[in-house]
């Protein structure tokens, strides 16, 4: 069963983010492609081939052998994975390793291991905005506490950051 997008609640989530709050708490968010793009998350287009079974048939694997292949831990078949796009458990990676490797390499542009995503320009902008907000709060507190030297230093830091 697909996870619904937490933003629009209409589409299935295909982007899964883990946000780290200032307290260090990790919060997972699940978004559809369009909501992720609205939040500035670059979504690289990649789709699992609809003809995965055909590719395996060309390699000499028949439909019957794929349908019969079952994970000994959870009982999920490779056919289940193909229909749902989800594996049943972590052991499926081992049970279907030879079948999954070409799919993973295709999705990872030739790499057999997931290397993750690098932060995009929007992430840098978000960090800058968070730093500005923190400095502005500190400036306000310094002025209220009549710590004018600290306030002047914070004011200068804010100006420098805003000029970038």
Pairing of strands 26-31, 15-20: antiparallel
Mean pLDDT of the chain: 77
132 and 94, same domain (yes or no): no
pLDDT digits (tens, 9 = 90+) for 16-45: 887 777 777 888 888 888 888 888 777 655
Whether the full predicted model's pTM is greater than 0.85, yes or no, is no
58 and 97, same domain (yes or no): yes
113 in a structural domain: no
Cα gap 67→61, rounded to integer Å: 11
Paired strand residues for 29: 17
Q: What is the pLDDT of residue 109?
A: 62
Q: What is the pLDDT of residue 50?
A: 43
99 in a structural domain: yes
112 in a structural domain: no
Least confidently predicted of 21-30, 105-114, 120-129: 105-114
Q: What domain count does the chain have?
A: 3
27 and 59, same domain (yes or no): no
130 and 90, same domain (yes or no): no
143 and 164, same domain (yes or no): yes
16 in a structural domain: yes
What domain range includes position 86?
A: 52-107
163 in a structural domain: yes
Q: What is the mean pLDDT of residues 86-102?
A: 83
Paired strand residues for 28: 18
């Amino acid at each position: 069963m697909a996870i619904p997008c937490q933003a629009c609640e209409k589409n299935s989530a295909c982007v899964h983010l883990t946000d780290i709050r200032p307290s260090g708490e990790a919060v997972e968010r699940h978004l559809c492609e369009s909501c992720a793009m609205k939040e500035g998350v670059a979504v690289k287009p990649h789709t699992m081939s609809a003809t995965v079974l055909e590719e395996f048939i060309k390699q000499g694997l028949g439909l019957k052998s794929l349908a019969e292949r079952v994970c000994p831990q959870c009982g999920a078949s490779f056919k289940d994975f193909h229909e749902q796009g989800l594996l049943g458990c972590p052991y499926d990676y081992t049970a279907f390793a030879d079948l999954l490797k070409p799919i993973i390499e295709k999705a990872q542009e030739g790499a057999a291991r997931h290397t993750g995503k690098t932060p995009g320009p929007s992430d840098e902008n978000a960090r800058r905005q968070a730093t500005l907000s923190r400095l502005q709060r500190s400036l306000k507190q310094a002025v209220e506490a009549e710590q004018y030297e600290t306030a002047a230093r914070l004011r200068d830091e804010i100006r420098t950051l805003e000029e970038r």
